[in-house]
Amino acid sequence: MTKTAPKGRKKPTGRYFDAAITVKTEDGEANPSKPKRRHQKSFTGDFLRMQSQDKNKALHKNKRPNVTEKPKKQKIPQEVLDKYSRGDAVDSSGVKTRHFKEKQKRKEIYLDYATEQAARTELLLQETPGKLEADEGEITAEYRQSEIAANVDLQSAAKHFSLKLDFGPYTMRYTKNGRHLLLGGRRGHVAAFDWITKKLHCEFNVMETVADVQWLHVPTMYAVAQKEWVYFYDKKGTELHCVKRLTRVNRMDFLPYHFLLAAGNSAGYASWLDVSIGELVGNFNTGLGDIRHMRHNPANGVLCIGGGKGVVSMWSPKVREPLAKLLCHPTAMTALTVDPKGEHLVTAGLDRLVKVWDLRQLNDKPLAIFNLRLPANEVEVSQRGMLALSQGTYLETYTDVLTSGGTGRRNKLPYLRQRCDAFVHGMRFCPYEDVLGISTANGFQSLLVPGCGEPNYDALEDNPLETSQQRREHEVHALLEKIPPELITLDPHEITGVDAPTLQEKVDAKRQLFHLKPPRINMNPRHKMKGRGGSAKAARNKQIVKDLKRKEFISEVRKAKKDIIASHAGDGDNAQQTSGEKFIKPKVVRSVLDRFKPKPQKKQKPTK
């Protein structure tokens, strides 16, 4: 029923309402006729075929082509869901009322949905992790760095470089986003540079020994532990601060979410300096002697300090005793590290073993043991769980911290090997890159280790490609979210849980009941009119009230004590005593000569 233009006249151009005109087809279905372009109108063959196909479909299935139908959602594999899951659902069987039970159930649905949505975003990740596969008859360990560099793209090949530096054994640090590198030579050389573009920020000699270097929360500031004190410098090398409260520091570490610079010094003091307010939030003697090995656990911010006796102790700035201690080696320790997820602790000792411990369980059984020919002097774990360990000048990496191997075991071969020209003093995996940085006695080397780094960064957490404006914004946000040092505990999720008293606290509360003192009662007698009561009477009344309250208190406490004793009568040694009384005593046969026996000792009063 479309209008046809009169002959000799141009057909009017299509208007928007033309689309609304419907055409009745044979099968009685109304199809909206779409205005077509000129080239489509003249074009017949293929287009018609398409339309007829459509019609056939409609005839066969008797179903309109549904445009609005939602695309079917892909099912997410369980292991991906597990990765994003925050744990099992809350057991609502203990919830008393139906209302709150329902509420909890509804909440769980939301949480499941959130997990699912997070898991779905995995589709959007742009990069895949690096990898290195050996050809047939070859193993990955026999590839040299030059070979790897020759086989990768130019951008990656440029990440393999080495620096020859003269100022003695070096320590090194990457920034949290892996973009910048800081080198500190024992003989005073400090250099900061963007290692990807190889752009030097600053380089100078502090004319003092440099024990350790550490970036702060932004790549424009860093701390250098020098001979006596810790100094802060900015990117240009300007001295910002000299922190004289941190003396003779050996090792430094930075807790980015707490803004704490942790330092361990040669007298055994562990100190935490809040760099946002410049205050020492914790500073005490650990009693461990010279602190040589110190790393923080990225998952909870606890400082792990390895001692000379093979014990790793974990410290929080507000608790003066270690939160936990772990005997790792029978000999002195040579290195320790915590993996970036905070799950594993890797320790190396003079007993030529490298052990991997579970930090969440904290039991005395290592998850894996690496046997070495020489003691490892540095260990390091990458973001994707690759283990690197150095023994003097020799260095190897393993693909998984939990598959134990080592040079002592021939069956388990390393992923990559490298022999350096000098003794390795510092070693770090670069975050978000497939690079292992090594600082040696005479310089720095950047090695390519395909597959060690996390390929997809989260720009709101760490952004290797951040602009200065983004950096400033991030700094402000990070400062607003600074976690107070009191929240550094072994379990970081403690704050989200229910504050239920532990068994120890319950026991303590009960025990305290046995040492209660009656409170002092201060009573002001009411002022009475003249003649109604003298001071003597008032004093007597006061005494009466006091006595009464005291008696009341004592009786209450006694009752409470009785209850406690009654509740514990069923278990422990009390049970043994009560059951012991049930035995029938053997009859004692007395004789006249008993009086010559030594008298039994008087029973001592049981002490509380």
Number of Cβ within 10 Å of residue 574's Cβ equals 12
Question: Of the two residues 219 and 301, which places its CB atom closer to another protein in the complex?
Answer: 301
DSSP 168: S
| Binding-site ranges for another protein (CB under 8 A) | 83-84, 86, 118, 121, 124-135, 138, 143, 147-148, 151-153, 155-156, 159, 257, 298-301, 340-342, 432-434, 448, 450, 453-463, 465, 467, 470, 480-484, 487, 492-496
Minimal distance, residue 78 CB to another protein, in Å? 16
How far is residue 382's CA from residue 258's CA, in Å, rounded to a whole number? 22
Task: Compute the distance between CA of residue 353 and CA of residue 165 in angstroms, rounded to an integer.
Answer: 31
Distances (CA, A) of 375 to 147, 164, 339, 405, 447: 29, 26, 20, 14, 22
Residue 42 vs 496, nearer CB to another protein: 496
Contact 79, 67 (CB under 8 A): no
Which lies closer to another protein via its Cβ, residue 233 or residue 254?
254
Nearest-approach distance from CB 433 to another protein, in angstroms: 6
CB of 490 to another protein, least distance (A): 13
CB of 301 to another protein, least distance (A): 7
With respect to another protein, which residue has the nearer C-beta, 147 or 290? 147
Residues in CB range of 374: below 8 A, 6 or more apart: 352, 391, 392, 394
How near is the Cβ of 207 to another protein at its closest, in Å?
38
What's the chain's Rg over C-alpha atoms?
38
- DSSP assignment string, 96-122: -SHHHHHHHHHHHHHHHHHHHHHHHGG
Minimum separation from the CB atom of position 528 to another protein (A): 19
Q: How far is the CB of 359 from another protein (least distance, A)?
A: 13
Cα separation of the two ends of the chain = 107
Q: Is the sign of the CA dihedral 136, 138, 139, 144 positive or negative? A: negative
Distance from C-alpha of 396 to C-alpha of 373, rounded to nearest angstrom: 12
Cα(84)–Cα(123) distance, integer angstroms: 13
Give the span between the Cα atoms of 271 and 282, in whole angstroms.
5
Cβ proximity to another protein, 463 vs 541, nearer residue: 463
What is the closest distance, in whole angstroms, from the C-beta atom of residue 481 to another protein in the complex?
5
Closer CB to another protein, 255 or 372, in the complex? 255
What is the Cα–Cα distance from 387 to 337, expressed in whole angstroms?
A: 10
**Residue in 511, 519, 518, 510 with CA at minimum distance from that of residue 608:** 511
Measured in whole angstroms, how far is the alpha carbon of residue 297 from the centre of its chain? Answer: 6
Nearer to another protein, 289 or 484 (CB): 484
> Cβ of residue 77: shortest distance to another protein, in angstroms?
15
Taking the least distance from each CB to another protein, the nearer of 41 and 493 is 493
Nearer to another protein (CB atom), residue 138 or residue 421: 138
Residue closest to 291 by CA, chosen among 255, 267, 275: 267
Q: Which two tokens stand for residue 39?
A: 């080239």
**Closer CB to another protein, residue 27 or residue 556?**
556
Neighbours of 457 (CB within 10 A): 18
